[in-house]
Each structure stands twice: as C-alpha cells, then as structure tokens.
Structure 1
Amino acid sequence: MTETSPGVVGTQDTRLIMLRGNSASGKSSVAAGLRENFGRNLAIVAQDNLRRTVLRERDRPGAANIGLIDLTARYALDHGFHVVVEGILYADRYGAMLQGLVRAHRGITRCYYLHVPFEETVLRHATKPDAEYLAHVNEGHLRDWYRKKDLLPDALETVIDTASTLDDTIQQILRESGLDHVLPIDR
C-alpha cells in the first residue's frame, strides 16, 4: 500500500479519468475500450455497478453510492491502479465528491463529458443488448433523466460530442491522459 498524506490520493504516476454524460452517451463503451487498449492495472469504477448492483440504491442526493464511488476510486489509486470513474454522475449530486477527488489526486487527471443530444440518446438506448433493461426503461425515463450539458464547474471537463467515433474518443483519452505511453502492470 502506498503511504499518503491526509487528503492526498494516488501517486505522480497514476492516472485518473472521469467519464460523465447522459444515459446511452457511450461512457461504459469508452471505459471498456480504454481497458481493452491499455490492459491490466486500469480499474473501472462504474456508478451503475456500485449504485444499482452493489447497493441496489436509487440515485438521489446524499445517497451512499456517492461515498462508495469516492472510496473505491481512492483505494484503487492508492494501490497503484489507474482509474476510470464513469457514470451519469449528475453535477449537483456528485460534483463536490468528484471535485474533491480531482483536487486530491497527485497524478494526471482528465475529465470528459460525453455530450449526446436527446434524440441520439433514444436511438442509442434502443441498441443496448440487455432486453430486460430495455423492457423497463423507456423514452419517458430517458427524458426524465436527461440533462443537457450537465457540466462540472470551473471548466474541469472536455466535452466530446457525437462527431467523435468510439475509437477516436478512446484514442483521444489515452493520448491526453498519457496512458498511451505507460506500460500496464500484469497483476
């Protein structure tokens, strides 16, 4: 385990990447593509996994998953993993935690917001492979959840829109985070 000062997380060598955006904007696909391109030693801290699967919790202000996302990302960074935090992560609910994580990280941090217009969100949602999820989540749900450019304050995020292909987005993030020049550690 890496020794850290209070409030400081990771090392100069760790990378922290945040991927935010509305449902069906491509966050999970980008995170999976980053891991596939990079290899081992890249932790994916997915909001859906921690909130819906681990805790089975609704997304609401002050919910327990906010702290669990923070704790999981910090733990992985402190153990030498590069970390991708991905999810809708509404700015008003998750912003303080995300900003604190960015401030505390000693290594390179890059934050991205995947901006997809609502009409494209609906089209992309229809292509999800999980039939059970599609049966329970309809256009009305997507409309209720959708927030246009729900950006964090202080221009922390680079906005990536639909003109960027999945591979272009993955390559941009690898390049800008420096992961394209870091060797993975086979754990």
Structure 2
Amino acid sequence: MSTTSHPRLPAAGAPVGSAETRLVVVRGNSASGKSSVAAGVRDRFGRGLAVVAQDNLRQIVLRERDRPGGANIGLIDTVARYALGAGYHVVIEGILYTDHYGEMLQRLVDDHRGVTHCYYLDIPIDETLVRHASKTDPEYLAAAVTERELRDWYHEHDVLPSGIETVIGSDSTLRDTVDRIMRDTALSELPARDN
C-alpha cells in the first residue's frame, strides 16, 4: 500500500499556492478561443500546468446548467486550489459570467501567493459566429450549440468589475495570445516538470 501524501485541500479565504506558482484566468464568450488558448499555454509549457475547464467540470462532471450559485462554481475553485497547493501552475478557462463566477474568481486571485494574470477575450458577436462555424467537431456543431444559443449566451464586454483583467481583442491571433500569456506570467522562463 502506498503512503504517498497528498496536499491538504486549502479552504477559500486561505492563502494558496506559492510564490513560484502561476494562476491564469482566461474568460470570454462561447467560441472566443478560451479552450484553444488554455491548450496552447499547456502545450507550450509542458508538464506541471493544470487546465481547469469550466465546461468539463460543469457539463461533464456535474451535468449542471450554468446558474447563479451552481455547484460547479465551488468545484472550479476547489480544483484550482488543490492543483496550486500541489505545486501546479493553473489555467482556469471558461465563459465564467461575471455575475455567477466573479466573486469566486476574485477570492481565488486574492488568495493566490504567486503570480496571477487574468484575461478577457473580447470578441464581437459576428466574429464569434464565424469562429464557431469553423470548429471541426461535427457533433458539437450539429447537436450542442446553435447560432441562436450563441446569441442568447453572449454577454458583451463582461469584464470583472475590479479591473484585474487584460482585455484581448479579435485582432490577437491564437499564437499572439499564447505568446503574451507565456511572457506576462514568465511561464516561458520556468521549467516544466519532468514527471
């Protein structure tokens, strides 16, 4: 039987992570490129960076609708805190509407001991529709999300009220955005884990 110890789960309001950990939050409307940015940052960095994806935790793990006070809000916070406590860098990505998730994100940012950067991908609705149509997963396109749903879900310039986010517009390519995050956070200067 293994006696591997696991990090204690930090409580909300308690300091989390270390001076060396990086916390990155990438928010924006559906089809704005959040998942691609998070995957690009992890691919560029390597092992030791956890991606905490709202869609995975809300839709797959909990199968929950996005609503104020939903269980996924606490789950996103818990997973991010656990990973930071275990020494991982963390990228949280999702639509993460300000009115549902803003308070949790602000607490997490305040509690993180290391370097934190938040980004909002501010993509106009017309560009959102073009990006959505270019997705290659036919099941997703046919069954999951329609143009009407994209329009219903769209919240124009839904930035966090504290001003902690860097707004990135549609003129920034995926590569430009990943480069910027790697540079801003200094992840480009840190070693990946070897296991």
TM-score normalised according to structure 1 size = 0.97
Counterpart pick for 2:135 among 113, 128, 153: 128
Structural mapping, 1:42-121, within 5 Å: 42-121=49-128
- Is 1:175 the equivalent of 2:195? no
Which position in structure 1 is the counterpart of 2:169?
161
Counterpart-to-counterpart distance in 1, 2:83 and 2:169: 29
Contact 2:50 / 2:91 at 8 angstroms: preserved in 1?
yes
Contact 2:7 / 2:82 at 8 angstroms: preserved in 1?
no
Aligned length: 187
Amino acid across the alignment from 2:156 = K
Runs of at least 4 residues of structure 1 off by over 6 A?
A: 3-6
Contact 2:19 / 2:114 at 8 angstroms: preserved in 1?
yes
Deviation at 1:170, TM superposition (A): 0.3
Amino acid across the alignment from 1:142 = L
Counterpart pick for 2:157 among 146, 149, 152: 149
- Is 1:12 the equivalent of 2:12? no
Unaligned runs of at least 5 residues, structure 1: none
Amino acid across the alignment from 1:63 = G
TM-score normalised according to structure 2 size = 0.93
Unaligned runs of at least 5 residues, structure 2: 1-5
Which position in structure 1 is the counterpart of 2:44?
37
